[in-house]
Amino acid sequence: MEKQVHVSRIGEEFKQEMKKQSQRERFISWAPVGILAFLVVLFSIIAQGFFSLTNLQNLLKQLAIPLVMSLGLTFVILMGSTDLSAQGLAGFVGAIMALMVVNSKNANNMGFLGILIAVVAAILVTAISGIIHIKGKLPTFMVSYAVSSIMQGFAVLSYKGEPALIRDEFFTTMSQGSFLGIPYLTYIALAMFVIAYVLQFKTRFGSYVMAIGDNEGIAKNIGVNIDLTKFKVFLWLGVCIGLVGFMGAVRLGRGEVGIGSNLVFPAITSVVVGGTSLSGGKGGVVNTLVGAMIVTVINNALVLLGVSPYVQQAVQGMIIIAAVAISIPHGKNLIVK
Amino acid sequence: MKKFLTLILALCLVLSCTAALADEPLTIAISMRSTASEYHMQYVAGAELFAATLPEGTAVVQALPCEGNDDKQVNDINALIASTNGNMILYVDANNSPNIVPIAEACEEAGVYWCAGWNTPEGVYPMSYKYWVNFQSCDAVKQGYDIAVTLFNALPTPGKGKICVLEGMLANTANADRMKGLKQALEEYPDIEVLDDQAGDWATDKALSITENWLAKYGEDIDGIWCACDDMAVGVVQALKAKDLDGKILTTGVDGTSAAIELVENGQAACTIANNGWLQGFYACAYAYAAKTGKIDTETMDTLHRCFLTNGYLVSADTLADYKATFVDSQPQYDPEDLDFPIAGPMFPDEA
Amino acid sequence: MERKLLMTIRGVTKQYPGTLALNNIDMDVYGGEVLGLIGENGAGKSTLMKIMIGAETATSGTLEMHGKPYAPHTPIEAMKLGVGMVFQEQSLIMNLTVAQNIYIGREEQYVKHALVDTRRMNEDAQKVLQGLEITNIKSGTRVNRLDFADRQMVEIAKVFDSVGASEGEGSIILLDEPTSVLSEKEIQQLFRHVRRLCTRGNAVIFVSHKLDEVMEIADRICVFKDGCKVDEMPNENLDEGILYEKMVGKTASGEYYHVARQRVPEQDVVLELRKLCKRGYFADVDLQLHKGEILGICGVVGSGKEDLCAVICGDEDPTGGEILVRGQSQRFASPSQARKAASILSVPRERRVEGIIGELSAYENICMSNFDGVRQNGVISDKLAKVQAEKYVQELSIKLPSVNQRVGRLSGGNAQKVVFARILASGCDILILDHPTRGVDVGAKTEIYSIIRDIADQGKSLIVLGDTLDETIGLSNRVAVMKDGEITKMFDAPPDGKPEQVDIVKYMM
């Protein structure tokens, strides 16, 4: 047999296949942006009032809270987990925050301190649920659901049936006012986006979250402190939920438990539609921004189109399935659970 | 960690047991959806008003919120019957209509006199039971009609203009009935045009977003927003405020929450209807107590007293002062002896 | 150059349940040398490397590094002590950049005010790549944008740099099949760098199936077989023939495989492959399987034999060529369609994961591939299923307390017999057996060989990927040898003229 050091035909083909696959992935990674552009153009043409300054402001306003919520969940999902605690926790934060600033139910006037206390409370709660998950090895899904119920209970207790109306002038103007045409709440959301961006791309924390989501075994071998990183993810989630509770209360003008009720699943949807994989390790905060925009635009345009409320939810569901189908890879032997 | 959790769990159990052991005054139980609802809490306040008419220390009021869970509602009632040995009376606002049946059976077995409000399955009424004293409800069609008429008359040109309709949750009985009332009113006011109809699922934040979107589409073409409940009205006004249109575009509500009363006071909402949970809670207890003490006999009561509609209180600019004087600045006063007082009309007018 | 002893390995043994993966290994690693490790799949090379980098712990025996006891618990600890490994399955985080991957876990030097100085990190990473003469990769690119070979080079750069950072006393780098996706030019680059590392007093351990490469780069070669180190020799005047002979395992007696019962297959061709291709995995495979024949396929990992079987049973799609079943051209959308339409059934290698359902009882497992046989009036009858199961339990002498026994509790041999009962109950007559005796003890193995003979006697045809080369030869009527996705040789293996393992290995490597 002759001696040969060579690369076989199969090797060549294999390299080509891998190249094709990575091209395909690159294409898919741009899909959410394409979908967003398509929807914007489509709705501008067919929906009366969509392409107007007022509506742009509406979109920016309606984007703010879902965006912050999704940014909080992005790191959780990048890690391959899920968290439902916002449902009750955001309501709790909104309720106690409303009770601490000037309000209709008591004589408190703590101003910014009130917000700070509310947000810190949210961080403490997610920190505790993080510890239960990490040390107790209980799945985040269940832990966070339980935590959500508990906080919902506390929220209701805190105002005994009658939500506090916010009377603090600073906050009432905050919900309405804008600077350079952009609503104040949207600035908060954009600032959170910048912070999330820095966290993902400019810190060790960002790399480690990605590593854990990609393959926890590798991350461990590399020397990543997995428990600590996960704990930090929960802290970040707490910050976001705290802000969401605060922003929700400001936007509605009162602290009621309903603030968080329609938030979690749309936020998870935003993250996934943006192209972040639910199994972790793929995607990130930029994807989330695009995803949150897609979901907001759909909600907004369906009302503008005057779509009958009876079919609206069905239409929304179908658009989301279509968007997800385009933005994630498929394959015959890809096992998805 | 696990041990710690177990400990907490054990502690909760022990606490709830000791609570159950304390005796023995009559328990007045109010089973409703949630303590988060101001209106549901009015039942409890009404029950407390009634308890105050009894000798001190002979009755305690207990709220049983089911938090939207059918099973929890039935289980909690059964548990309370067991722990009080049946020494209780009960008012139930069923989470879903079918829940009435197991509750009725449990009370029948334990000999607990009770009343129900709002929800019962078609054909299931107190007349078939000994211990189910009566069933009361509000006329939701009338509510929808009343707020519509009040709104139409409060428009810049009374009786003429363009409105948007914000429904509650589709496929919900109360919502469907209020919509029916709205349609009756629209037939009587042909100059009112409906621009759009959306469902806000009874939620403040959804109402807020939908209104923002309407304003982008129709702008100041909108003269009024017919809104099916108070929580949503708060969201509607919040969106109007941002465009400085609150007070110019009026909205409506139903339930009579303090937030909505304030909207009426500020001229941002045309009206709301207080369902008057105090009245409902008070007289449900009064009836059940009267039956328990033998003052009335369910075997001989007529249909009108066993199924009737109660009046809400339409709070508009005109009636605001009176409402506040009666319900906000003081406690409403009811007479437990005057059992005809709450009856506004028969539930089955044909039979009357 | 004076050779400095870096690591000594003494009496290292690794016992897995049911198998002895490493048996009393002694080995020395010297600074400045490239040590080649060769051996068949499962000879113990990988296990030894895992122990060296702390991913596994030895059952007994000791390791010393620089004269001090060495027992790392994690790869990161091993790396700090100067031992790093380039994994065959890459350990890169796809969504991070090249630089982030190279420095992950070691970012301290670039962190200022909690932020990573990405620019400086990218520059340094670029220098690391340049040091390895890698010029086509930008350090700021995300790894999932690179092609497979470039990823391999990044992986190598990462390990070289992190081990190099702790150099000084001399480090050890382990390369597991590093060349499988590299081009000729990249391989030469890699070799140059391996030599450069060695001249600085480090050692490189090189593991590959490609004997020619091992002979080109290694200074010393250790041969592994069945968990033992069978020989160790300097790489001088060696020829491949000698190495082949040392690598192949012992030959068991014909009786063990029931060779006397081997029958001559019939003339009918039940399955024929014509120029079957799957791009990137195998190409132009022509093969005929006769009625009652046992056809063995051998080849190293990556030769394409597993992928070929996956295509035949419908689990993967071919990209070219034809599959003819009894003369009819067929395409399968899924394994279940292959079973129904063409009577082809595949029995996977990972029995615990893919072959049986441990939570179900034996009788439920047995009827799993063919519910039609136990249906009564349209519904599945437990009674019929149990009767059927009883029959096979007797026939195959499966040791069970009852057919209600949960399969998860059974020993490897009995669980595998349950799998065979399922195969027989399926009624399929083209069977693909992937490592049919994996994890089965010696006694049960010979029973399973007997069952395989029974199946062939019933006129069914089998494709066998044996656990060892000897097994494949012993069982088969013919043996196909695959290398780099092509069939390189077809051997006849009649009872009286079985081919030698050495001859087959030549065509595999």
Q: Which CATH number is C470's domain given? A: 3.40.50.300
Domain boundary residue among C194, C221, C247?
A: C247
Q: What is the per-residue pLDDT for C437?
A: 80
Task: Between C144 and B5, name the one with better pLDDT.
Answer: C144
Nearest to A170 by CA among A95, A115, A230: A115
Distance in angstroms (rounded) separating the CA atoms of residues A243 and A66 = 11
In a domain, C260, yes or no: yes
Average the pLDDT over B19-45 and give the result.
Answer: 78
Average the pLDDT over B168-180 and give the result.
Answer: 83
Bridge partners, residue C207, by sequence: C37, C176
Residues above pLDDT 90, as percent of chain C:
2
Cα atoms found within 13 Å of the Cα of residue C320, Cβ hemisphere only = 11
Residue pair B284/B132 in contact by the 8 Å Cβ criterion:
no
- pLDDT category, A336, cuts 50, 70, 90? low
How many domains is chain A built from? 1
Average the pLDDT over B293-314 and give the result.
Answer: 86
Whether the predicted pLDDT of A327 surpasses 80: no
How many domains is chain C built from? 2
Residues of A with CB under 8 A from a CB of B: 48-50, 52, 54-55, 58, 61-62, 104, 132, 135-136, 155-157, 160-163, 165, 175-176, 248, 251-254, 256-259, 261-262, 299-300, 303-304, 306, 308-310, 312
Q: What is the per-residue pLDDT for A5?
A: 41
Structural domain boundaries in chain B: 2-138+276-309+333-346, 140-274
C272 and C237 share one domain: no
How many interface pairs between A and C have CB atoms less than 8 angstroms apart? 119
Phi, psi of C9 (to 5 degrees): -120, 125
C220 and C239 share one domain: yes
Task: Between B215 and B346, name the one with better pLDDT.
Answer: B215
Region of residue B171 (phi > 0: left; psi between -120 and 50: alpha; otherwise: beta) = left
Token code pair at residue A279:
């199994």
Which partners does chain C have (≥3 C-beta pairs < 8 Å)? A
- pLDDT category, A3, cuts 50, 70, 90? very low
In a domain, A337, yes or no: no
- pLDDT category, B18, cuts 50, 70, 90? low
In a mutational test of the B interface, the residue from A54, A87, A92 whose CB has the highest number of chain B CBs within 10 Å is: A54
Nearest to B114 by CA among B130, B95, B126, B131: B131
Distance in angstroms (rounded) separating the CA atoms of residues C175 and A249 = 59
In a domain, C329, yes or no: yes
C6 and C76 share one domain: yes
Q: Write B265-270 long-range contacts (CB < 8 A, 24+).
A: B265/B320, B267/B317, B268/B237, B268/B240, B269/B233, B269/B237, B270/B147, B270/B150, B270/B151, B270/B154, B270/B224, B270/B316, B270/B317
In a domain, C379, yes or no: no
User: Is B140-274 assigned to CATH 3.40.50.2300?
Assistant: yes
Nearest to A238 by CA among A97, A86, A115, A108: A86
Q: What is the per-residue pLDDT for C223?
A: 87
- Domain span including residue A116: 32-327
Cis peptide before B220 (omega within 30 of 0): no
**Do A14 and C486 make contact, defined as CB atoms within 8 angstroms?**
no
Average the pLDDT over A145-158 and give the result.
Answer: 83
**Do B41 and A49 make contact, defined as CB atoms within 8 angstroms?**
no
- Domain span including residue C74: 1-82+173-178+211-247
Q: Read off the pLDDT of residues C126-144 as tens digits, 9 standing for 90 and up.
A: 988 887 777 888 888 888 8
**Do B209 and A312 make contact, defined as CB atoms within 8 angstroms?**
no
Residue pair C460/C427 in contact by the 8 Å Cβ criterion:
no
In a domain, C498, yes or no: yes
Residues above pLDDT 90, as percent of chain A:
18
In a domain, A157, yes or no: yes
Token code pair at residue A242:
């705290």
The region of weakest confidence among A159-168, B240-249, B338-347, C362-371 is A159-168
Q: What is the per-residue pLDDT for A2?
A: 35
In a domain, A24, yes or no: no
CA dihedral A256, A257, A258, A260 (to 10 degrees): 120
Of C74, C212, C485, the CB nearest to A3: C212
**CATH no. of B2-138+276-309+333-346:** 3.40.50.2300
Give me the residue label for tokens 């007082």. B341
In a mutational test of the C interface, the residue from A75, A207, A235 whose CB has the highest number of chain C CBs within 10 Å is: A207
- Whether the pTM exceeds 0.95: the reply is no
Q: Within 10 A of B176 (CB to CB), how many other CB atoms are there?
A: 16
**Do A10 and C145 make contact, defined as CB atoms within 8 angstroms?**
no
Cα four-point dihedral sign B119, B120, B125, B126? negative
Distance in angstroms (rounded) separating the CA atoms of residues B341 and B348 = 18
Q: What is the CATH number of the domain that holds A299?
A: 1.10.3470
- Ranges in chain C, pLDDT < 50: 1
* Average pLDDT over all residues of chain A: 83
- Per CB-CB distance under 8 Å, the chain C contacts of A1 are 240, 506-507
C37 and C73 share one domain: yes
ipTM above 0.90, yes or no: no
In a domain, A147, yes or no: yes
Whether the predicted pLDDT of A331 surpasses 80: no
In a domain, A7, yes or no: no
Q: What is the per-residue pLDDT for B17?
A: 53
Whether the predicted pLDDT of A6 surpasses 50: no
* Average pLDDT over all residues of chain C: 83
Q: Read off the pLDDT of residues C232-241 as tens digits, 9 standing for 90 and up.
A: 888 887 777 7
Distance in angstroms (rounded) separating the CA atoms of residues C4 and C200 = 12
In a domain, A274, yes or no: yes
In a domain, A183, yes or no: yes
**Do C281 and A8 make contact, defined as CB atoms within 8 angstroms?**
no
In a domain, C403, yes or no: no
Q: Where are the beta strands (DSSP E) in chain B?
A: 26-32, 59-65, 88-93, 114-117, 132-138, 161-167, 192-199, 224-227, 250-252, 269-274, 307-310, 313-316, 345-346
In a domain, C351, yes or no: no
Which residues, 6 or more positions from B209, have their beta carbon under 8 angstroms from its beta carbon? A62, A299, A300, A303, B239
- Per CB-CB distance under 8 Å, the chain C contacts of A4 are 212
Q: Do domains B2-138+276-309+333-346 and B140-274 have the same CATH topology?
A: yes
Q: Read off the pLDDT of residues C394-413 as tens digits, 9 standing for 90 and up.
A: 888 888 888 888 887 777 77
* DSSP letters spanning C404-463: TSBGGGS-HHHHHHHHHHHHHHHT-SEEEEESTTTT--HHHHHHHHHHHHHHHHTT-EEE
